[in-house]
Amino acid sequence: MQVFTSSGPKETKEIGRNLVRKFGEDQLFCLFGPLAAGKTTLVKGIARELRIAEKIVSPSYVLLREYEGACRLFHLDLFRIQSSSEFLEAGLEEYLIRKEGVVAIEWAGRIEEILPEERVDVELELTDESQRRIEVASQLD
Ligand SMILES: Nc1ncnc2c1ncn2[C@@H]1O[C@H](COP(=O)(O)OP(=O)(O)OP(=O)(O)O)[C@@H](O)[C@H]1O
Ligand SMILES: [Mg+2]
C-alpha cells in the first residue's frame, strides 16, 4: 500500500499519471471517495499519460465513456447505480473482466461485492479544501 498527499488538482493528476506508469495499461482502477474527492481529476491524469487528447467529461449520466489513446480508456461513474445487480442489469460486467486498455471506475464502492480481486484500489479522502490523502492498494504490491 502507498499513501500520497496531494495539495492541488495538478498533483492529483500527476498521481494518476504515475499509476499508469507503475501498473501498466491493462489495469482496473477502482476509485473510492466522496463527492469532490478528486476521482475525475485523477482520471484526467490517467488520460494524459495515455496521450488521450479528448477532454475527459465525467460519465455520471451515461455511466461509461470510452476514449482512444496509447490504449483505450473506459471511464465509468457509478454514482447513479444503487447496487451490483443494477450494474449487472446495465450490461457492464465486461468492464470488470480484463479489458484491453485501462478501466477506471468512480464510485466503485457501489459494486464492492462483485469487484474482482485483481485490481488497484485508489481511495481519495478530503483532508482540507485543497488537500487530498490518496491511498493506493493492490494485490500486486
Ligand atoms: N488536491 C486536489 N486534488 C483534486 N481535486 C482538488 C484538489 N484540491 C481541490 N480540488 C478540487 O476538488 C474538485 C474535485 O473534483 P472531481 O470532479 O475530480 O471530484 P470527484 O471525486 O470526481 O467528484 P464526483 O464524486 O462528483 O465525481 C475540483 O473542483 C478540484 O478543483
Ligand atoms: Mg467524478
Which pLDDT value is given to residue 7?
Answer: 98
Model confidence at 139, in pLDDT bands (50, 70, 90)?
A: confident
Residue linked to cell 500486486? 140
Which pLDDT value is given to residue 99?
Answer: 75
Distance 131 CA to ligand 1 centre (A): 10
> Does residue 31 sit within a domain?
yes
Q: How far apart are CA 91 and CA 8, in angstroms?
A: 35
Lowest mean pLDDT among 17-21, 56-60, 107-111, 126-130: 56-60
Distance 57 CA to ligand 1 centre (A): 13
| Domain of 93, in residue numbers | 8-132
> Does residue 75 sit within a domain?
yes
Which pLDDT value is given to residue 137?
Answer: 98
Q: Which residues contact 29 (CB under 8 A, 6 or more apart)?
A: 19, 23, 46, 102, 103, 104, 105, 119, 120, 122
Check which CATH number belongs to the domain holding 53 and give it. Answer: 3.40.50.300
Mean pLDDT over 109-125 rounds to 97
Percent of residues, the chain, with pLDDT higher than 70: 99
Closest residue by Cα to atom 31, ligand 1, is 9
Tens digits of per-residue pLDDT, 9-66? 999 999 999 999 999 999 999 999 999 999 999 999 999 999 999 999 988 888 999 9
Distance 34 CA to ligand 1 centre (A): 10
Instruction: Give the chain's domain count.
Output: 1
pTM assigned to the model: 0.97
In sequence order, the β-bridge partners of residue 30 are 105, 121
> Does residue 2 sit within a domain?
no
Q: How far apart are CA 36 and CA 132, in angstroms?
A: 10
Q: Is the pLDDT of residue 140 over 80?
A: no
In sequence order, the β-bridge partners of residue 125 are 133
Q: Tell me which amino acid residue 48 is.
A: R
> Does residue 82 sit within a domain?
yes
> Does residue 92 sit within a domain?
yes
Mutational pocket test of ligand 1: of 41, 42, 56, 131, the residue with most ligand atoms within 8 Å of the beta carbon: 41
> Does residue 139 sit within a domain?
no
Crossing angle (nearest 10°) for helices 9-23 and 39-49? 50
> Does residue 141 sit within a domain?
no
Q: How far apart are CA 129 and CA 94, in angstroms?
A: 36
Which pLDDT value is given to residue 60?
Answer: 80
Which pLDDT value is given to residue 11?
Answer: 98
